[in-house]
Structure formats: C-alpha cells, structure tokens
A and B are shown apart, each in its own frame.
Chain A
Amino acid sequence: AQTVTQSQPEMSVQEAETVTLSCTYDTSENNYYLFWYKQPPSRQMILVIRQEAYKQQNATENRFSVNFQKAAKSFSLKISDSQLGDTAMYFCACGDGATNKLIFGTGTLLAVQP
C-alpha cells in the first residue's frame, strides 16, 4: 500500500519570496510517479509538476521545482518568486506504474501575502 504524508497543514510566504512544501511517501512499488497538484478555491485540481521515480534529475517547471530524495522517500516542492496567484491548497500524490491511481496527502494550504 502507498501512503503520502504532508506535515505542514498551512504555510505563508511573502510575495516574491521562496517557499518549500514538504512531502514524504511510502510505497512498495519499484515503478511509481510523483505529482504536485494545486487546488485553488475554484476546486479544480491543476497539475503543477511531476517526477518519474526512475529519473534522478529533479523536475523543474518555470518557478516550480522539486527536491526528490528517493532513498529518503521525500518529494518537496519549491516555489520561487511567489505570486499572489499561487495561493491555493497544494497536494502531493503518488501513482503506481500500472494503473497510476493516485494516493494523495492531506494537503498544505499556502497563502501568499502581498
């Protein structure tokens, strides 16, 4: 069974600053994928970034990057140059290689302050 843990229920950051959201996971799968999704008040789940477990290089997507530590089963998200529009709930998720059903953490509510 897979589990995903997000230990920060809420975070706050000043506009233009950098913030890191933590995520740890546990899985018995050898082939799996990791994702960060953003959920603004509109309720829609928006993909932020994804990482394939077999790739050592950390994924980056514009202002978003991850620190993937496979041995430690850690997958943190770094947001640089935070913008007001980044205010949302952020969910870390792990998908198995066969079906990619996603197991989600409980989320981190990020507030970007002007």
Chain B
Amino acid sequence: GAGVSQSPSNKVTEKGKDVELRCDPISGHTALYWYRQRLGQGLEFLIYFQGNSAPDKSGLPSDRFSAERTGESVSTLTIQRTQQEDSAVYLCASRFGPSNQPQHFGDGTRLSIL
C-alpha cells in the first residue's frame, strides 16, 4: 500500500509480558517517528529516526521502552515487562524531505495491558 502500515492493529497482553509493535513507513521516507496516545489525550512524542539512527530518544518514558530501525525502512518499538499504564494507541509516522514537510501517520496499534 501507499501509506504507513502498522501491525498489529490491536494487541492485548498480560502485565509483565514483552510486546513488539511494527511500523512500515512509506517507501523512501527517511524520517520516522513514534508517538503514544493515551485515552482522551493528545499524542506524546517517543522517538525519532533519521535513516537507521535515532538522534532523539528523549520521549521514551523508561528503559523498558526501546526501538530500532533497519534498512531505513521497518521500525519496531519494543516494550518490556509491560505495565497497565502502557495501555495506549501507539502511532507511527514517516516523513520525506526537509523538516517542514508533514508527517504521514499510520492507523496505530491499540495496546491493552490486562
């Protein structure tokens, strides 16, 4: 498809389990972002990739959160030892060109921690 693709669409897991969320950006988009959206709130920035490197990880809430990107394409966001407060929608966005260009968002992964 032509848009940003995220999988899974929904994920339910038990507290303490690890989860991996996947993002396939638009082909050719070098910049990639992860955001978290808690229920009824705005989006919180988590991490920014330029190519395969992450020059800004300032939004990751704890060391249980990590992300990687390979081949200047797919990115995975990993949450270890999940907690109930991790329940949220995790959105990925990608951007082509200079920083004034808009970000294109995926539909997100809704993560529910039981």
Residues of A within 8 A of B (CB): 4, 33, 35, 37, 42-47, 50, 52, 91, 93, 95-107
Interface digits, B15-55 against A, CB 8 Å rule (1 contact, 0 not)? 00000000000000001010100000111110010100001
Those 5 A-B pairs whose CB atoms lie nearest each other, nearest first: A104-B42, A45-B105, A100-B99, A104-B43, A47-B102
Q: Is B91 a contact partner of A99 (Cβ separation < 8 A)?
A: no
Q: Please tell me the number of chain B residues within 8 Å of chain A, measured between CB atoms.
A: 28
Q: Is A33 a contact partner of B33 (Cβ separation < 8 A)?
A: no
With A43-B107, A47-B102, A99-B48 as known contacts, state yes or no: A105 contacts B91, CB within 8 Å: no
Q: Which residues of A contact B33 (CB under 8 A)?
A: 101-102
Q: Is B56 part of the contact surface with A, judged by Cβ < 8 Å?
A: yes
Residues of B within 8 A of A (CB): 31, 33, 35, 41-45, 48, 50, 55-56, 59, 89, 91, 93, 95, 99-108, 110
Q: Is B100 a contact partner of A43 (Cβ separation < 8 A)?
A: no
